[in-house]
């Protein structure tokens, strides 16, 4: 049985106040999007450098090694913290004030640091077991399994740094300080670029494995992200010594929520781990092609979709805590319209321009024409699900804001079954592309189920129809694809250099979408461009 957050005040907030809060979401998301955009751009540069400097054997090993702590980061840190700690912290501050919020945070921090230390130690100790579970196919390639185990042991403590940083994000976002949390992840990518370019020769000259340059980048980047938050946390009084008061009702509420959230998200991320297992059996390069396609898909999602979720969650949590269901539905519907407005054209253009984009971004050094072709194929399969992943993120955020941590668990279980069946059916005829396609298929099923169930849970959503907005966005997206493909064909016939073809086609597609949005009168475009939605 799911639980709604109880009203925190005798009377709900006024509609005017909530409407102002809703209008600020696009502006806050803009701040988060700017930082995320910087991180994604640096992330692309990071992947370009890694792809050009290291062989496919090394990149395959690294992507598997980094996936293991990264999944735990998403599960224990970003997932559980943002979905369990942040709503309770927001409700505690709303109900009891800032001092109570600080005491609650100190208690959570004490428990969290111990948990992260234990998980990091276990990961280092049992790295060989983990790699056996999720990349047993590497035994078929001489030295690949051993290289992956070594990298896993080095990078696993990353979960400690990122778990600590995620807790800081919850505090700063609750106080609507989005800039630091948005820009801090760029430090990890800067570390990657610097260490990948400068450290391999130094390590090789001293007889060390040059792949340890990537492990060093992970650890230094994680530490830098934690340190970057300290000044802002100190200013809001949240850089206190950790405490251990298990009588704190807020801490008990976090633990109650974390169980279903961790199980639900754990089921979801088993998809990722099983994908690594399937890919390890599909030959050299399969892991890397999948990972680079995933990076490209995450780029449009991170620019705005994840930013919108980050900006909206504190508002949704406060409205749920106040019991204001009408404004909760209105705020969520507003965020969904913006999500579709960004995710649909991103999906369409990603699929249409997959190969020229991959060639532009990656084809250099050790990344040859075959790598471009195979990465583009994986990108088409995964990119077709960009919009469904975006919608799922918003829907799950609404469930968690309302305190319902169990419904997403059941849906995630069905998602896992769909993924396994689809991957097993498609990996034979399609190879690594079949695994990518299975990810998109499972995400679509998850989206449909979550939407059908939330309509029953929040009937007020029926007052805020989305069809008109989605139809306008879909038409503008079709126009953008037509213009992008026409531009691509034209510049190729004119003999424009390959490096410029994708850029010109993508720019034409984006401008075409903006023109279509203006033509069809999309209010979402005005909302995103309006200076009146600036950050508080």
| Domain spans, the chain | 54-279
Residue with tokens 């290291």: 54
Q: Which residues contact 407 (CB under 8 A, 6 or more apart)?
A: 2, 399, 450, 453, 457
Select from 103, 72, 132 the least CA-distant residue to 250: 103
Determine the number of helices (DSSP H) and then strands (DSSP E) in the chain.
23, 0
Residue 483 pLDDT more than 90? yes
CA 14 from centroid of its chain's CA atoms: 33
What are the tens digits of pLDDT across the range 118-149? 989 999 999 999 999 888 889 888 889 999 99
CA 510 from centroid of its chain's CA atoms: 23
Are the C-beta atoms of 345 and 517 separated by less than 8 Å?
A: no
What are the tens digits of pLDDT across the range 376-420? 999 999 999 999 988 888 888 888 778 777 788 788 888 889 999
Report the pLDDT value the prediction gives residue 4, as an integer from 0 to 100.
37
Select from 93, 105, 108 the least CA-distant residue to 239: 105
Select from 176, 201, 211 the least CA-distant residue to 93: 176
Higher pLDDT, 39 or 77: 39
3-state SS string for 128-175: HHHHHHHCHHHHHCCCHHHHHHHHHHHHCCHHHHHHHHHHHHHHHHHC
Residue 303 binned pLDDT confidence (cut-offs 50, 70, 90): low
Mean pLDDT computed over every residue of the chain: 82
Report the pLDDT value the prediction gives residue 306, as an integer from 0 to 100.
67
Residue 325 binned pLDDT confidence (cut-offs 50, 70, 90): confident
Residue 6 pLDDT more than 60? no
Q: List the Cα angle 151/152/157 in 5-degree steps.
A: 110
Higher pLDDT, 483 or 273: 483
325-352 and 498-519 helices cross at what angle (nearest 10)? Answer: 140
Are the C-beta atoms of 85 and 254 separated by less than 8 Å?
A: yes
Mean pLDDT of 191-204: 91
**Which pairs count as long-range contacts for 505-510, CB under 8 Å and 24+ apart, including other chains?**
505/353, 505/356, 506/349, 506/353, 506/357, 508/483, 508/484, 509/345, 509/349, 509/352, 509/353, 509/480, 509/481, 509/483, 509/484, 510/345, 510/349, 510/480
Report the pLDDT value the prediction gives residue 449, as an integer from 0 to 100.
93
3-state SS string for 78-138: HHHHHHHHHHHHHHHHHHHCHHHHHHHHHHHHHHHHHHHHHHHHHHHHCHHHHHHHHCHHH
For 314, the token pair is 């504190």
Give me the phi and psi of 157, to 5 degrees please: -60, -10
Helix H or strand E segment including 30:
helix 15-53
What are the tens digits of pLDDT across the range 506-525? 999 999 999 998 888 888 77
Residue 308 pLDDT more than 80? no
Select from 365, 290, 361 the least CA-distant residue to 55: 365
> Quick one: what percent of the chain has pLDDT higher than 70?
85
> Can you tell me the distance from the alpha carbon of 302 to that of 445, in angstroms, rounded to the nearest whole number?
22
């Amino acid at each position: 049985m799911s639980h709604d957050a109880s009203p925190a005040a005798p009377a709900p907030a006024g509609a005017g106040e909530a409407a102002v809060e809703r209008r600020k979401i696009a502006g806050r998301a803009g701040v988060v999007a700017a930082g995320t955009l910087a991180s994604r751009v640096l992330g692309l540069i990071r992947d370009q450098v890694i792809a050009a400097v290291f062989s496919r054997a090394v990149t395959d090993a690294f992507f598997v090694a980094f996936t293991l702590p990264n999944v735990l980061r998403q599960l224990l840190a970003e997932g559980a913290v943002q979905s369990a700690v942040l709503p309770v912290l927001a409700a505690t501050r709303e109900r009891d004030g800032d001092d109570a919020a600080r005491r609650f945070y100190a208690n959570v921090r004490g428990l969290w640091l111990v948990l992260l230390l234990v998980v990091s130690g276990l990961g280092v100790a049992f790295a060989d077991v983990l790699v056996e579970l999720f990349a047993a196919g590497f035994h078929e390639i001489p030295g690949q399994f051993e290289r992956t185990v070594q990298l896993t042991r080095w990078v696993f403590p990353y979960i400690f740094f990122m778990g600590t940083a995620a807790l800081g994000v919850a505090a700063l976002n609750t106080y609507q300080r989005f800039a630091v949390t948005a820009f801090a992840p760029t430090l990890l990518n800067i570390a990657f670029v610097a260490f990948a370019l400068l450290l391999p020769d130094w390590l090789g000259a001293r007889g060390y494995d040059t792949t340890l340059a990537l492990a060093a980048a992970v650890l230094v980047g994680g530490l830098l992200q934690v340190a970057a938050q300290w000044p802002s946390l100190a200013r809001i009084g949240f850089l206190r010594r950790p405490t251990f008061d298990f009588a704190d009702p807020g801490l008990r509420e976090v633990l109650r929520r974390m169980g279903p959230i961790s199980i639900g998200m754990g089921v979801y991320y088993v998809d990722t781990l099983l994908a690594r297992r399937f890919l390890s059996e599909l030959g050299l390069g399969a892991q890397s092609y999948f990972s680079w396609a995933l990076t490209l898909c995450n780029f449009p999602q991170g620019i705005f979709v994840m930013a919108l979720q980050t900006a909206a969650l504190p508002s949704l949590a406060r409205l749920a805590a106040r019991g204001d269901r009408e404004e909760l539905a209105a705020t969520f519907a507003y965020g969904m319209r913006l999500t579709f407005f960004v995710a649909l054209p991103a999906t369409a253009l990603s699929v249409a321009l997959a190969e020229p984009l991959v060639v532009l971004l990656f084809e250099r050094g050790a990344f040859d024409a075959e790598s471009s072709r195979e990465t583009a194929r994986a990108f088409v399969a995964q990119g077709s699900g960009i919009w469904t992943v975006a919608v799922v993120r918003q829907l799950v955020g609404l469930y968690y804001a309302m305190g319902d941590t169990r419904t997403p668990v059941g849906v995630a279980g069905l998602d896992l079954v769909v993924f396994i069946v689809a991957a097993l059916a498609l990996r034979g005829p399609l190879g690594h592309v079949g695994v990518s396609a299975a990810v998109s298929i499972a995400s679509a099923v998850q989206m449909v189920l979550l939407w059908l169930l939330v309509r029953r849970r929040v009937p007020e959503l029926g007052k805020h129809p989305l069809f008109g907005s989605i139809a306008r966005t879909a038409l503008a997206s079709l126009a953008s694809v037509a213009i992008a493909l026409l531009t691509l064909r034209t510049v190729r016939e004119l003999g424009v250099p390959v490096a410029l073809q994708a850029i010109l086609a993508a720019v034409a597609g984006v401008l075409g979408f903006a023109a279509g949005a203006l033509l069809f009168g999309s209010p979402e475009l005005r909302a995103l461009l309006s200076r009146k939605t600036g950050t508080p």
